[in-house]
Amino acid sequence: MNKGLRPLDTAFFARARDRLRARADAAGLDGLLLLSAPNMAYATGLFLSANERPVGVWLPVSGDPILMLPGLERENAEGTGLTDLRFYDEFPGDVPAVLWMLDQIGRKSIAIDQLDAALLDAARAKLSGLDLTDYAMLVRSIKKPEEIALTIEAAKFADLFLIRLHAAAGDIIAKGGTEADLMSDAMGHARGALMAKHKAAFSGTPMGITASVHSGPRAALPHGAVLERRPQPGETLIAGIGASLGGYHAESGVTLIVGDISPEQNRIMTAMQECNDAGVNACATRQTCTAVNDAALDALRAADLGDAIRHRIGHGMGLQGHEAPWLAPGDNTQVQTNMVFSNEPGVYRPGLDGYRTINTMIVTESGVDTPSRFQSDTPIDARVIAI
């Protein structure tokens, strides 16, 4: 039950900085300037809401890191354990904050993970070399056991939403309940359980649940909004859930049928299961991300559902709910042990209905683990809402 689960500690972030330094050294750089909020969190443990005020951490291959923030973040910076803290007054300032950071670093060969194009020429003029590769994301894509433990725990609460929805939806709909009512009930249940178990230990780190519930013809919208609409007998109802703990994300999702499952609905849901399994198998055999996407979606095409495909099969997860690598066309990253992905078969038939399932996949030495358990615990013929 992970009773002793705790947020990542300062030793983890120190090791993360060492991994980042090694990556910079291998690239022939003097260091990395990290400006994106997830990379900042990975390197320092500092979870700040992204806003207009730039924040940055300079990680030299040799020497101490420099944490550079607006002055209003002084107290947060002091909690990181880093010793070289530097502050600028305010945004936008007479000198853009990122250029001020480069002045603090000096004339070196560096990589910056993100940079406003308007600052590109000025940044190049201050440096001996500029690389715009996001090396931190490359390091972050391979998770450590402490990170995976948080993902596994988060997945339990995404599943808990679905368990509650499956159990309570029939009564709620019978009483005139809408998509919004279904989501409110399941959200309150799952979020309450998450907070009851982890709020004390994880206070000050990101944690929570996001969800969508939409039904009928509107289920054909991959990102349909939740409305005051009552699901009707015979319709599909899609629920997609994201949960996070200590900043790390997991997802779970399912398509339920209001009332009895028709033969056509069963056929589609079976094809989606085959799509999911093909994605798992392709990850387990360490194919490229593009090849994983192709293998999974080919299962839908084989079921004559190719015209109903609207999106890739999945994406990476970690400090962001959606992050690289992408199980999609154009990403030739080789799947590796300890990568974490979503697996999201989707079938969308505009004007008629839609279907989507979501599992979290963790690539292991021996294959793929799936901490999202709702689908495996709830076979297709049981994915009904009795009314």
Q: Which residues sit opposite 27 in a β-bridge?
A: none
* pTM reported for the whole predicted model: 0.96
> Which domains, ranges and CATH numbers included, belong to the chain?
10-140 (3.40.350.10), 145-385 (3.90.230.10)
**8: helix, coil or strand?**
coil
For 54-77, how does the pLDDT look when each residue is reduced to its tens digit (9 = 90+)? 999 999 999 999 999 999 999 999
For 330-376, how does the pLDDT look when each residue is reduced to its tens digit (9 = 90+)? 999 999 999 999 999 999 999 999 999 999 999 999 999 999 999 99
Q: Judge whether 341 and 293 are in contact, CB under 8 Å.
A: no
Assess whether pLDDT exceeds 90 at residue 49.
no
The pLDDT value given to residue 3:
55
Assess whether pLDDT exceeds 60 at residue 219.
yes
Compute the average pLDDT of residues 90-102.
96
Average pLDDT across the chain, whole number: 97
| Opening angle at CA 190, ends 155 and 273, nearest 5 | 45
For 278-302, how does the pLDDT look when each residue is reduced to its tens digit (9 = 90+)? 999 999 999 999 999 999 999 999 9
Assess whether pLDDT exceeds 60 at residue 106.
yes
Structure confidence at residue 50 as a pLDDT band (50, 70, 90): confident
CA distances from 26 to 21, 29, 31 (A): 9, 8, 10
291/334 Cα distance (integer angstroms): 9
**25: helix, coil or strand?**
helix
159/2 Cα distance (integer angstroms): 16
Structure confidence at residue 1 as a pLDDT band (50, 70, 90): very low
For 255-280, how does the pLDDT look when each residue is reduced to its tens digit (9 = 90+)? 999 999 999 999 999 999 999 999 99
Q: Judge whether 48 and 72 are in contact, CB under 8 Å.
A: no
Collect all residues with Cβ–Cβ distance below 8 Å to 86 and sequence separation of at least 6: 66, 67, 68, 69, 104
